Amino acid sequence: MGNLKEALLYLHDECNYSCEYCMLGGKFEKRKSLASSTDGFNKIVEFFNKHKGCHIFLTGGEPSVYEYFIELAQELTKNNFIRLDTNNSFSEETLQRFIKEINPEKVDFIQCSLHEIDEEETRLKEYIERVKRLQSRGFKCFISYVALPKRVNKIEELIRIMKKENIPFVVTPFRSPEYPKGYSKEERQEIYKFIYSATQRALFEIDERKPKGKECSAGYSRVNINCINGSIKKCWRSNERIGNIYEGTLKLNNSIERCNIDSCTYTYETHLDLEELVCKDLHNVISCKEKYDENIYKEYIKRSL
Ligand code: SF4
Ligand code: SF4
């Protein structure tokens, strides 16, 4: 039986922003998440107390607006590690509590997505201030920026600002049915200049990975959990249910299996021989490297196709 090491925890559909480019269409037909009840919260905590030493990626929706966000972070970091995908819109109270009550050594990284609403001058200053407060407490933060065609011309200035503030800044191509194929040649060239993440750059180049037939730790040591109904799948692209967090069930594979899915673009859920590259690349990004690692870039392409 596998040993759970990584889990993506999709907490809820709730968000305090409504970005037009949101994966959920910015419309949010909000499904009620079972995580919103104390019983649901307790079941999540109980589940991870049985799977100690796991790296749990909290995402949504916006995780910081989850009713029990701080309490969940507190509980999960007792026996596990968390990673956070947030829009960095923390209320003052939430930020203060997070900084005071959560051990930075139990947080792998905080990915702060910078959205259009926060690009206005005053809001941007406040946004940066929040990142710096997290950084000064020892949290590893980086800003990710979705390069929508209309935002491409802002990248250079934002990179200048973040460099001055010593905040890692990751440009990611926009993905939708039309993009990234729909970028003009000029937009592509502009984006390429500023993609310092080797894996993002490689994925932009090849558009999608072709994992079918490759060994993957999904379902063996990594799972994807949807807290809305509790269903556990091996990864985002899979339809097969392998457990339910509210029922405390999980059936991991006995060994690493081969992927049967044709294509995948998801950043952190990759087949086995890309995991090491993603990890190294993330380290480079968090270390504020300004040039992408060419070896990682080439290897990622080679191993993806
Ligand atoms: S902040 Fe994130 S989850 Fe919220 S609307 Fe924007 S893209 Fe969607
Ligand atoms: S390679 Fe990707 S799509 Fe295939 S099982 Fe692994 S995570 Fe899922």
**DSSP character string of 219-265:** TTTEEEEETTT-EEESSTT---EEEETTTTEE---SS-EE---S-B-
The residue whose C-alpha atom lies closest to atom 6 belonging to ligand 1 is 19
For residue 1, being part of any structural domain is answered with: no
Ligand 2, atom 4: nearest CA belongs to which residue? 259
Contact at 8 Å (CB) between 140 and 286? Answer: yes
The per-residue pLDDT of the chain, averaged, comes to 94
Q: Render pLDDT for 112-133 as a digit per residue (tens, 0 to 9).
A: 999 999 999 999 999 999 999 9
Of the candidates 205, 32, 17, the one whose C-alpha atom is nearest the C-alpha of residue 117 is 17
Q: Is residue 106 part of a domain?
A: yes
Q: What confidence score (pLDDT) does residue 170 get?
A: 94
Residue 252 lies in a domain: yes
Domain assignment present for residue 205? The answer is yes
Determine the atom of ligand 1 nearest the C-alpha atom of 18.
Answer: 5
Ligand 1 contact, 11 CB (< 6 A): no
CATH of the domain at 234: 3.30.750.210
In a domain, 152, yes or no: yes
Residue 29 clears pLDDT 80, i.e. is over it: no
Q: With cut-offs at 50, 70 and 90, classify the pLDDT of residue 26.
A: low
Q: How confident is the model at residue 2 (pLDDT cuts 50, 70, 90)?
A: low
Taking alpha carbons only, the member of 66, 65, 64, 61 closest to residue 23 is 61
Q: What is the rounded distance in angstroms from the CA atom of residue 292 to the CA atom of residue 284?
A: 8
pLDDT digits (tens, 9 = 90+) for 53-107: 999 999 999 999 999 999 999 999 999 999 999 999 999 999 999 999 999 999 9
| Distance from Cα 44 to the centre of ligand 1, integer Å | 23
Q: Over the stretch 194-217, which tens digit does the pLDDT of each residue have?
A: 999 999 999 999 999 999 999 999
Ligand 2 centroid, distance to 245 Cα (angstroms): 21
Domain count of the chain? 1
Atom in ligand 1 nearest the alpha carbon of residue 15 = 4
Q: Rounded CA gap, 172 and 254, in Å?
A: 35
pLDDT tens digits for range 270-296: 999 999 999 999 999 999 888 899 999
| Predicted confidence (pLDDT) at residue 225 exceeds the cutoff of 90 | yes
Domain assignment present for 155: yes
Ligand 2 atom closest to the CA of 211, numbered from 1: 1
Segment 14-33 mean pLDDT:
78
Residues 6+ apart with CB under 8 A from 153: 190
Do residues 95 and 45 touch, judged by C-beta distance below 8 A? Answer: no
Q: Say whether pLDDT at 28 is over 60.
A: no
Look at ligand 2, atom 5, and give the residue with the nearest C-alpha.
259
C-alpha dist (Å) from residue 224 to 76, 106, 239? 16, 20, 11
Q: Provide the residue range defining the domain that includes 51.
A: 6-304
Give me the pLDDT at residue 25, please: 57
Q: Nearest-5° angle of CA 116, CA 117, CA 119? A: 65
Q: How far is the CA of 143 from the centre of ligand 1 (A)?
A: 14
Rounded Cα distance, 266 and 209, in Å = 9
